[in-house]
Structure 1
Amino acid sequence: MGSVHEPNNNTDKSPYVEPSTSREKNWKFTDLASELAVDPEGEEISSEDVWNTVTTTNNINTDEDDSVQEFGRTYHRYKQGSYLLPNDAKEKARLTVQHHMTLYAMDGELYLAPIAEPKNVLDIGTGTGIWAIEMASRHPESNVLGVDLSPVKTEAVPSNCQFEIADVTDPWSYDTQFDFIHGRFLLTCFDDHKAVFRAAYENLAPGGYLELEDIGGFEFIDDSGDGTALKKWNDTLFKAGLSMGRNWKCAWSYAQWLQELGFVDVVEKHYVCPGNTWPKGKYFKTLGILLNQNVKLGFEGLSMAVMTRGLRMSEDEVMKLVAEAKPDLDDKNIHSYSRIIVVHARKPL
């Protein structure tokens, strides 16, 4: 078991437990990382076939009047600076790839929680709104609300789907309780994730479910990552987050936190996405193509704000670090992967 960092005395955050799939768990846990194996033949699959399956379900527009300019990118205007990633066209393209990567990893399912037709659904940190729109399309009897700091500018929204600008770290004041609350890739969003999950608990109907889908940083199945620029970038990214009070490895603690908040029937499952096509099998190679593109689209956006603010790095220093890491992402001798960590839990009746 890894080291435990004590929480600040004036908060009730749980201490962060260093990532370890071997730590004792008293909830249902599945880890697919053991299925990764190097492909000694180096066989490839058609990336064209992969990209033919990655199509946007809506036209996503960017309105610069709702944004501020920084580092040559646009960022949200509402509560400026509280979210560290851009909201421009390049970032929205990345979010689309990320959505399809997660969908493919989860065998096409939008969620894993055992709830068939939730009446009232909330999607926190909805981003482009792509998950909320697909959820509303697949479940026409559900009322789906997506909330984010940035406005959702999109076409072809189902009548049972709505969007609001909102900060879920503020007190929630919804008129209805939700049957299902969904949050995907929230690791970069909050200083105190557990407080947001507490608000979710309070706004769930009895028997309702919360599902969280998040991603871990790069790991390596062997020592091939030692001394690489990719590992240096990854470590610097998480160090920068911590320096700003944001633990970007928080997903490893989600299941524990939900139990502490009173949720029951907690389930945790880890999917794995390789950094490229280095492993055996079409499933993992496809995920490798998708994660590779996701990271390439996000390298600068993930890095710039948090590293310049958190570590006082110059823009040139950040760009140099990114430029050195990019070739490693394509190197099939570097056996990198990242986990998609899915946790769902039920509010008691």
Structure 2
Amino acid sequence: MPHPRPQFDTDVAGQENEETDSAFGGSIRGSETSTLDSDILRYRVENGRTYHSYAIIFWTLVLEGDLYSAPIKNPQDVLDVETGTGIWAIDVADMIPSAIVKGIDLSPIQPSWIPPNVRFEVDDYNKEREHTNRFDLIHSREILGTVPDWVQFYKKALDSRFSALRPGGWMDSTEPLIHINSIHGPVAKDHPFNIWTTQFATISEQTGLLWDVAPHLKRWMEEAGFVNVTEKVVRVAIGKWPKAQKQKELGAWNQLRLDMGFGDFTERRMRNVLNWQNDEIMILVAKIRASVQNSKEGLFMHLYHVYGQKPGE
């Protein structure tokens, strides 16, 4: 049964709110990056690593300088699942020159100029393929909406026939909770983020791919057979409304990350699965970006870091 589409006021031009960080629907990239670029240079000096994008700065800040949560030092064989641009794999390779880091993805969008200890392959981690590698660490981040069966996904990481961990190796997963909250109380039912969440629930129904996965990672990992499974939940602001400097800085990076990435993330799925038209998508995205830019709303999100260990032999 088709789901009714929400009705939007299409007259969005010229609206502005003095509490937002930029004009309605416009990107905050220009206003924010001049300040945040100096922070990139500072983190490069302090941590001795090269940061390749705003997203990796955000995640590194969330993890307080680390690149993963699992309690393993200097892993020597590392797999990055759905590596995307390969940024995480490159940073791990820079951090641990003795490690061999492999990134797999369906799209060959990774750079050609990479450290010698990185290898990228076009591959689908959902397929049952044999690999000769045995990994100390398998990493995944924000792969929601791409895994048909998470328990089977984790079981593959334990199975010696596939991209498997060595006995004692670690699986490290990070996913955001897709439901956005506010310090002022429950977000209104007609809030653009709630509309977005409802539409992506429909996308899940039609594709069989789950988006609301973060709260279930620990249970799924345990069901697959991992031991020493640990869940850490971090609350992160969207915008610069927190008074504490660290949370304000995290909120600014999160705001920029969402503002720059939300359109591309949403557009393809709503067009291909829900058959939304471009103007419908643009209006919803514009309203979401306006909300992201409005620090007065006091929005925040939860990030789930879950890691588990393959039983030793």
Bucket of the pairwise TM-score, normalised by the shorter protein: 0.7 to 0.9
Cα distance, 1:295–1:140 mapped onto 2, change above 3 Å: same
Whether 2:174 is the aligned partner of 1:213: answer yes
How many Å apart are 1:47 and its aligned residue? 6.4
Whether 2:199 is the aligned partner of 1:236: answer yes
CA contact (8 A) 1:113 1:209 kept: yes
- Letter aligned with residue 166 of structure 1: D
What are structure 1's unaligned runs of at least 5 residues?
A: 1-45, 58-94
How many Å apart are 1:205 and its aligned residue? 0.8
Question: 5 Å matches for 1:1-349?
Answer: 48-54=34-40, 96-202=53-159, 203-217=164-178, 218-223=180-185, 225-226=187-188, 227-349=190-312
SS in 2 for 1:327: helix
Question: Could you tell me the percent identity over the aligned residues?
Answer: 28
Cα distance per residue 1:15-46 (max 9 Å; x no partner): xxxxxxxxxxxxxxxxxxxxxxxxxxxxxxx8
How many Å apart are 1:250 and its aligned residue? 0.9
Task: Give, in whole Å, the separation in 1 of the partners of 2:258 and 2:197.
Answer: 11
How many Å apart are 1:148 and its aligned residue? 0.6
Task: Give, in whole Å, the separation in 2 of the partners of 1:280 and 1:138.
Answer: 32
Task: Give, in whole Å, the separation in 1 of the partners of 2:201 and 2:254.
Answer: 18
Name the count of aligned residue pairs: 268
RMSD: 2.3
CA contact (8 A) 1:137 1:158 kept: yes
SS in 2 for 1:271: strand
CA contact (8 A) 1:179 1:204 kept: yes
- Letter aligned with residue 204 of structure 1: L
- Letter aligned with residue 107 of structure 1: E
Cα distance per residue 1:286-316 (max 9 Å; x no partner): 1111111111112221212222233332222
Task: Give, in whole Å, the separation in 2 of the partners of 1:53 and 1:241.
Answer: 38
TM-score normalized with structure 2 length: 0.79
What are structure 2's unaligned runs of at least 5 residues?
A: 1-31, 45-51
SS in 2 for 1:231: helix
Task: Give, in whole Å, the separation in 1 of the partners of 2:291 and 2:35.
Answer: 24
Aligned to 1:18: none
How many Å apart are 1:155 and its aligned residue? 4.6
Task: Give, in whole Å, the separation in 1 of the partners of 2:195 and 2:251.
Answer: 20
Aligned to 1:22: none
Aligned to 2:21: none
Task: Give, in whole Å, the separation in 1 of the partners of 2:202 and 2:56.
Answer: 26
How many Å apart are 1:339 and its aligned residue? 1.8
SS in 2 for 1:326: helix
